[in-house]
A and B are shown apart, each in its own frame.
Chain A
Amino acid sequence: MKKRVSLLLALVMLATMFVGCADKKGEEGTSTSTSSSEGGSKTIALCTEDLETEFWVAAHKAIVDTLEEQGIKVIETNCQGDANKQLEQVKDVITQNVDGIIVIPKDGDTAVAVTKEANNADIPIVIFNRPPTSDEGANITVVCDNATVAEACVDYMVEEAEKKFDKTGEKLTPLIMVGDLGDPNAIARKEGFYAAIEKKPELFNKVIEVPTEWDAATALANLQSAVQANPDVDFLFTSSDFLFPTIQSVLEPLGKWVKVGEEGHVIMGGLDGDATAGELIDEGIIEGTGVQDVYNEADLAISGILDAIEAGETQPDEIREDPGFALTQGNLKEKRMDMWGNILREQ
């Protein structure tokens, strides 16, 4: 009986593999056919870290769609948050003789390691959105200036805080939800926050820092503790927009999840520019968010890799910066549709 069941299971698994391969073949076929008509026979590997936030999903879609529109064959890998696996996957795509590699690295160290592998194989490489921890090796780094974007968003929040201070004469209590301390983007966002706050120190009490480790459950528990210890928090910046529903869970029962101008409103801002933040700005719940322009970053990555391939450059070395911007209640009319989250919502 056990043998029969095992055999049956093995057959089911084999069948699944065949179905999977058949699907892939179909996809690749489409890609290759376009390729011959427009983009020659280029193959680009896209090695993603994971697809667990709206930002990464949007970045992945933008890159894959644009490359395929240009008739370029795309080989995709996903390391599911495992740095070692990502390095192995990059080595693997190198053996498949790809023309270029775009990597969304697990972290800054992985960015350095994969750059080294690509350089050794003389294949141009783009590091997307997470900067390498050292300038060792040659790559095209596409990065958003997280510190500047965070500062721009918090600058607007500080303006609003100043208005409140002028009315009440009471200092505000700021809180920042800090991302994973191992992520350079999280650190840059924290620096941007402090840069803005420190421009008007007379408006604020001591800043309360809440660790989130980029995890909603951790963020929830720690924010609840922080708000309980400091019930007068009235200025809140989250280092990523994906935490807004979690913030709502904490503030709503306290009567603090209310619109701008209403009694009990907490001045709030975030960073990323996702659809949730777009909705909340439209509803008037939050002041604004710092926007990483995912489509611009995708364009910078694609043009970078294609230019290098065309020029026969195997080790291009440059930094391409997405300046980003802050979408706030103040510039909502002009900039609303520049935010990728709002574009996704419209779609």
Chain B
Amino acid sequence: MIGNKSIKMVILRNIPIILFIAIFLIFGIFSPKFISVDSFKNILVSSSYVGIIAIGIMFVLLTGGIDLSIGSVMYLSAAVTGLSVQKLQVPTVLAIIIGLGIATLVGVINAFLIVILDILPFITTLGMMVFVKAVGLLMTKSESVKLPKVITSMGSQSVLGIPMPIIIFAIIILFGVLFLGKTKLGRQIYAVGNDVEEARKAGIHTKKVLFTCYVMSALFAGIGGIISVAQIGIVNAAFGKGEEFNAIAAAVLGGVSLAGGVGKVFPGVVLGAVMIQMIQAGLVFMQTDLYKQPLISAGIIFLAVFLDSIRSKYIAKAEKRNIRNENKGLQ
């Protein structure tokens, strides 16, 4: 009996992974080529940049905030990197550092406006979304910016058979997991997200926590931008447009609460980012009608979120029951 219960709990806790595998296998039944290492590798490569920016925005979402400027930051940092090489003949590595520096600077400005001047995150980052994009367009004059071969070839380079975007994605995942799980500042982010006042009373420097989150969100957007452009090959003026919503969707699908305080990098956000890409890839593999693809994709995502919410309720109930039973046992 106890064994059954614990099996149920194991299944409940792992519903997202089970669903992920089920979707993968279902697409595989309809299109056998889908179940292959290469196919999965491609899905991971394609979802790597969304995964990176989703991990970045997760820090902000965990605090109950939001960052709408990340799509524009992707554009600006990629454009600055390209222009630094093209116009100023800066070495590629330095150009990347400049691009990421610009992204970090945007994060610092966001953080300053939100944390120090107490302006609402939604308004601040919405304003920055427009401002940063405008700065980028002013610099490029809406023209496409070509990045040097060193960067664009990174999209197709491999180390020990593992594509470079996946390696960078894995490093970011590892960083996110360790930072949130093993560092004091990481754990404080959850505390601030659960209740900022309580966190302050508990002695947490909440401003420092919030500041860090907005800076990291922008920095990760910059990294995501470079990874994306390494694959696309060119920065056009539409680059990064709407990516903030893809990142938020991946994070929420991965179980991050928009109210703050809840969410994990792995499997959570990573699974969310990869699942969205896997569904899209599966539909292309199956050659589903173009008009039906968004409908099916949205349906599967709704199903995933619905199952996840049921799962969370069951787990919460089961845990309450366990605490009551333990208390009774103690009495």
Contact = CB atoms under 8 A, between A and B. Distances in A.
A226 interface: yes
Interface stretch (B250-258, B277-285, B321-329): B277-285
B31 interface: yes
A225 interface: yes
A134 interface: no
A329 interface: no
Interface in A214-254: 214-218, 220-222, 224-226, 228-229, 242, 245-246, 248-249, 252-253
Interface string B42-56: 110111010000000
B237 A245 contact: no
A2 interface: yes
Contact of B232 (A80, A214, A217): A217
Given A57-B143, A222-B280, A216 B236 contact: yes
B241 A215 contact: yes
B24 to A, nearest CB: 13
A144 interface: no
Contact of A221 (B33, B155, B156, B277): B277
A178 interface: yes
Interface string A99-142: 00000000000000000000000000000000000000000000
A208 B49 contact: no
Interface stretch (B262-270, B287-295, B301-309): B287-295
A12 to B, nearest CB: 12
Interface string A1-14: 01001100100000
B46 A221 contact: yes
B238 interface: yes
Contacts of A218: 280
A51 B141 CA distance: 9
A52 B236 contact: yes
A178 B33 contact: no
Given A9-B117, A220-B46, A245 B232 contact: yes
B277 to A, nearest CB: 6
A222 B228 CA distance: 14
- Which of B42, B144, B152 has the most chain A CB within a 10 Å cutoff? B144
Interface of A: 2, 5-6, 9, 50-54, 56-57, 80-81, 178, 181, 206, 208-211, 214-218, 220-222, 224-226, 228-229, 242, 245-246, 248-249, 252-253, 276
21 contacts: A5-B116, A6-B117, A51-B237, A52-B236, A53-B237, A53-B238, A57-B143, A80-B130, A178-B290, A206-B287, A209-B287, A209-B290, A215-B241, A217-B231, A221-B46, A221-B47, A224-B42, A224-B45, A225-B42, A229-B33, A245-B234
